């Protein structure tokens, strides 16, 4: 499996982020990781990267329940970005098992899949195969 060059985790839970980083290390998930604590910080970072034509993450792991700007608001802003390169694969990663959240995530054409927290090594390996 090919290692992902740049991945991004958008999540406000430091325990989840820590566990995910450990799992990523175990499976050799990515060369570089960008961790952003909410949708607003994330959209600003990605806008800056688009404006400067810096590489975008190949994969974004997006939580939906965050303060300031949640995952849904992030997606609404993200789809407005004038992307100059290939679109990142976006995975909504949530502890929610509400079918409405799953359906809403799947309604976005930019969302590759909906995954349940916590991510397992198998989930990360499956993502690596899709990149």
For residue range 44-67, what is the model confidence (pLDDT) as tens digits? 999 999 999 899 999 999 999 999
d(CA 69, CA 83): 21
Confidence of residue 86 (pLDDT cuts 50, 70, 90): confident
In which band, very low, low, confident or very high, does the pLDDT at 96 lie, cut at 50, 70 and 90? confident
Range of the domain at 111: 4-130
Structural domain tally of the chain?
A: 1
Q: For residue 74, is pLDDT > 70?
A: yes
Q: What is the DSSP string of the chain?
A: -PPEEEEEEE-S-HHHHHHHHHHHHHHT-EEEEEEESSHHHHHHHHHHHHHHTPPPPSEEEE-S--SSS-HHHHHHHHTTS--SSPPPEEEEEES---HHHHHHHHHSTTEEEEEESSP-HHHHHHHHHH-
* Rounded Cα distance, 32 and 101, in Å: 29
Q: What is the pTM of this model?
A: 0.94
What's the pLDDT at 131? 85
- Per-residue pLDDT, 85: 67
Task: List the CATH number of the domain containing 90.
Answer: 3.40.50.2300
Residue 120's pLDDT band (boundaries 50, 70, 90)? very high
């Amino acid at each position: 499996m090919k290692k992902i060059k740049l991945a991004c985790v958008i999540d406000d839970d430091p325990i989840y982020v820590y566990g995910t980083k450990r799992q990523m290390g175990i499976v050799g998930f990515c060369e570089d990781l960008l961790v952003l604590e909410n949708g607003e910080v994330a959209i600003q970072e990605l806008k800056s990267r688009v404006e400067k034509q810096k590489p975008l993450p190949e994969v974004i792991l997006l939580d939906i329940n965050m303060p300031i700007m949640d995952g849904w608001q992030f997606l609404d802003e993200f789809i407005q970005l004038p992307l100059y390169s290939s679109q990142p694969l976006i995975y909504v990663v949530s502890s929610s098992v509400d079918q409405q959240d799953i359906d809403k995530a799947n309604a976005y054409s930019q969302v590759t899949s909906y995954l349940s927290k916590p991510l397992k090594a198998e989930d990360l390996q499956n993502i690596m195969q899709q990149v």
